[in-house]
Structures are given as structure tokens and as C-alpha cells.
Chains A and B, each alone.
Chain A
Amino acid sequence: MKIEEVPQDKGYMIDGRISDLNYAVDEHGKYVSRQSRGWLPKNEAMTMAWDVVFERAEEVRKKIFSGELSPLAFYMELHVMDISILSSYTGIAKWKVKRHLMMKNFRKISTDKMVRYAEVFGISQAELQDTERIRTMVLKHED
């Protein structure tokens, strides 16, 4: 890669704060470093990864309002977690987390556990139980 080829495709970086340092050759064939503001293929990969997260969350959202899945399942997708990660962050056994993902078991979750779940998602216990919050949430990332 030549120094003038260091990509400057605006992406998910924050100007003046975070950038990619690239190594590239200058006109004398010597390696130097230069900051890149982002690169298209990387941005596309990132966008696709988030699109998938939101797509999955959308599926879950439908199943919440058909009474099948619980809000936990929705926030788990939104935070790119799986049962295993959610279990290790909350300290709640995997088989229990799995059960709590079903709406019919969600109401029976103890206050203590509900608080732990809410904490991991960075919301209040009331917010976690509020399905209206889920109904109105806009699933989109900034780019």
C-alpha cells in the first residue's frame, strides 16, 4: 500500500479521537505511518454485523407481542449477547437464563435476579419489564 492509498473513507471512527494507524510506503519506497479515518470494506462489514443484530432483535420483538418470548430475549439480542454471556455477566445459571427468555416464566423471575438482568443491560428494572419501551424502540445505528 502506498501512502496516498491509505483509506480515508469516513466510517465509525471519531474524528480527532480514534483512528486507524496504517503503515504504507512513501515515494522512496520507505515505510511510514499515517492515520486512516476508516475503510469501506471494514465499514461495510461493521454495518452488516449491526444489521443482523437488529434483524434478530426485530424477530424477537414480534415474538414478545405474540406472548412467546420475554423482554430479556430482546435485550440479549440488542446487546449482542447469547445465553452463555448473559449467564456469566449475571451469575445466573444458563438453564435458568434459558427459561427466563420465555414470556411465561418471565413474570416469575425474582426481584433480585430481575435487578441483575437490568443492571447488565444498563436499564432500570421497570424499564426491563416495560414492553411498551420495546414496542416503540427504533432499531438503527448511527453511521
Chain B
Amino acid sequence: MKIDFQHKQAAHCENGVTSNLLRYYGIELSEPMVFGIGSGFFFSHMPFIKLNGMAVTSFRVWPGVIFKRVTHRLGLEVKRYKFRKPEPAMRELDRMLERGVPVGMLVGVYQLPYFPKEYRFHFNAHNITVFGKDEGQYFVSDPVMEHVEVLTPDELAKVRFAMGTYPPSGRMYYITRVPEKIDLKPAIIQGIQKTAKDMLTIPIPMFGVDGIRFLAKRMRKWPAKFGDKKAVLNLGQVIRMLEEIGTGGAGFRFIYAAFLQESAEILQQPWLNEVSRDMTAVGDLWREFAVMAARCFKSRDKGQTSYDTLADRLMIIADREEKIFQRLRKISLS
């Protein structure tokens, strides 16, 4: 059986899955809207969580959070669960498909056969929607793919139970109830307020704008601490997270700027257009940061100065993002 489901490509997987699932239930929200209402924008640099043996730097919230917040703020009811073993996880999926419910889920990309081989690191925070099963194949809407893909039950079970940092454990989610009327305005306000609060006030230096400064501070010490070779690898990891597949050039900052622009119109608050322009400028700074970093990869063994320059750039970005969210924090309905 195959559910009549419209696949649409997105910059980011969880935005895409959420947006595609909402559309199936008659709620047409753009990807930036989903990202903004779901408070997807974030920054964290966590030396104690390792990926490929190096600190994790993230430019967005934890997996699953966007879907949870968007549905909650729009008054939808959802169901989310995880499993210990593949068999019940696949059985439950089949049961939901039989009932005509498209199911979002978390997968690892390491064994995802339709991904380019070079992208298949042990990265476990990818989201897809499964919307049908026919002759031993599942129909998959993967937001970073241009068209619908298929997976065999064995392939799907494997990626749902990938191993490594933050294993997906067969996590799946779907919408169970949609309210008759949806009011975007309060949801937008809540989304912005939450992001502003998280970017500005978490009292641990690893998160929000302080997290960017924390990364800058540590980055200056990388060459001395790790040696040139490992330092450049750490930098490479930051860029790979910034450019996480399906987010394009510092993408999250631009997606957020697009969200602010759309919100300016919905809320009839033109000042948000100004903030959107500031955010676009910050996105451009992040892009330049990536270009500068890439020069380090080329030479592979740059000395102390280049890391200082990069860290200086991060400090500027932190200040700019701080100013933006100080303005946004004051948002209200009227």
C-alpha cells in the first residue's frame, strides 16, 4: 500500500519531514516557518560529546525537537516512541502504514544506500518519512533527496538501528490529531522567544552565543593542544557540522532569516524585516568563516595565526547574534 504523500525537498531533514507531514494533514507551512516555530536555531559546542573522536559542534537543536515543538505549538497531537529491537520497530511501522499513517523516523546515514558513499559517516540524526510498502519495498521521502527513494525492509531496519554516537534506536513519530483551526501568530511568537532565551540565557558556556565564544576560545588553543594536524581535523569537523548535509552554506542562519521575513508579514511587524537582514549578514559571516577555514585544510599545517583569525571572526559573529536575539527577545503579539 502507498499513501498519497507529497514529497518536497528541504534544506534540512527534520524541517522537511515535519513540513511534509503537516502538508499531508492539510497544513501548508514553509520550511523556514517550521524551523522558526520549532525553535530549530541554536548553537552548541560540547567537548564531552564526541563524534569521530572530536568535540561535537552543532548549529541547531537536538534531533526530534523541531517536530515536537512545532506540533505542540500548533496544537497537534503526536505519538513518538523508540524501540530496543528491530522486529517490533518494523512491525509497528507496518501497522501504522496499514492504517494509512505516514511515519517520520530517525535513521543513521552510514548504511543509507542512496546516499553518496562519501557522505556515509556514522551520523545518526537524519530524518525521513516512510509512506508506503509494496512488494518488499518501503517508499521513503528523504527531504535532502530530490525524488522519492525506496528501501528494502532489511535496509530500513539497518539504518533505523544504526550504532555510534546517539543511536536512533528505531525512533519514530507521527501525527494523531489535527485541530480544526490553526493560529500561526502565537506559535511564531513562542518559537522566537524560546530561541532568543536559549541563545542568550543558558548559564553553561557551551550553549547559545556564549557557546560560539567558547568555541573561539578553545580554537585558539587547538594548534598548541593537539598539534597542527589534529587541529585542522577539528576545524574540518566544525565545517562539516556547519555544512551538515542538506543545510547548504551556513544554511540555518539563512533559513532563520527567511523565517523572520515571512513572520514580518504574518504578524504585521515590519521591524522583523530589518532583523532578517541582520541575520542574512550573519549567515554571510559564517560563510566567510567556512571559506577561511577551507584555506587551512588546503595547506593542512597552518600555524597559530590562522586559528586566531578564525576565532576573532567567531567573536564578531557571537556579538552580532547576541544583538539580534536581544532585539527578538522583546517580541510580542501587538
* Residues on the A chain within 8 Å of B251, using CB: 20, 22-23
Given A21-B11, A48-B236, verify A31-B243 contact (CB < 8 Å).
no
Could you tell me the distance in whole angstroms from the C-beta of B294 to the nearest C-beta in chain A? 4
Given A18-B115, A40-B294, verify A49-B240 contact (CB < 8 Å).
yes
Could you tell me the distance in whole angstroms from the C-beta of B141 to the nearest C-beta in chain A? 14
Is residue B52 contacting chain A, with contact meaning CB distance below 8 A?
yes
Determine the residue in chain B with the shortest Cβ distance to A29.
B277
Given A1-B284, A18-B145, verify A41-B247 contact (CB < 8 Å).
no
Do B122 and A85 have beta carbons less than 8 Å apart? Answer: yes
How many of chain B's residues touch chain A, expressed as a range?
A: 35 or more
* Residues on the B chain within 8 Å of A108, using CB: none
Do A21 and B246 have beta carbons less than 8 Å apart? Answer: yes
Is residue B116 contacting chain A, with contact meaning CB distance below 8 A?
yes
Could you tell me the distance in whole angstroms from the C-beta of A42 to the nearest C-beta in chain B? 4
Stretch at the interface among A7-15, A59-67, A98-106, A109-117: A7-15
Given A19-B146, A20-B11, A82-B53, verify A39-B119 contact (CB < 8 Å).
no
Question: For chain A, what secondary structure do more than half of its interface residues adopt (helix, strand, loop), or is it mixed?
Answer: mixed
Is residue A118 contacting chain B, with contact meaning CB distance below 8 A?
no
| Cα distance, A100 to B256, chains bound together (Å) | 49
* Residues on the A chain within 8 Å of B146, using CB: 16-19, 35
| Cα distance, A30 to B276, chains bound together (Å) | 10
Complex partner residue of A24 from B122, B254, B291, B297, CB under 8 angstroms: B254
| Cα distance, A19 to B32, chains bound together (Å) | 18
Could you tell me the distance in whole angstroms from the C-beta of B190 to the nearest C-beta in chain A? 22
| Cα distance, A89 to B248, chains bound together (Å) | 31
* Residues on the B chain within 8 Å of A25, using CB: 280
Listed residue (B145, B237, B297) with the most chain A CB atoms within 10 angstroms of its CB: B297
Mark out the residues of chain B between 291 and 326 whose CB falls within 8 Å of any chain A CB in the assembled complex. 291, 293-294, 297-298, 300
The 3 closest A-B pairs by CB, nearest first: A31-B258, A41-B294, A20-B248
A-B contact pairs, 27 of them (CB 8 A): A1-B287, A7-B248, A14-B116, A17-B146, A17-B147, A18-B115, A18-B116, A19-B146, A21-B9, A21-B246, A22-B248, A23-B254, A23-B255, A25-B280, A30-B261, A31-B276, A33-B31, A35-B9, A36-B248, A40-B291, A41-B294, A45-B293, A46-B119, A49-B236, A52-B233, A85-B122, A142-B118
Interface residues of A (CB under 8 A from B): 1, 6-7, 12-14, 16-25, 29-31, 33, 35-36, 39-42, 44-50, 52, 80-82, 84-85, 88-89, 141-143
Interface residues of B (CB under 8 A from A): 9-11, 31-32, 52-53, 110, 114-119, 121-122, 144-147, 163-164, 167, 232-233, 236-237, 239-240, 243, 245-249, 251, 254-255, 257-258, 261-262, 276-277, 280, 283-284, 287, 290-291, 293-294, 297-298, 300
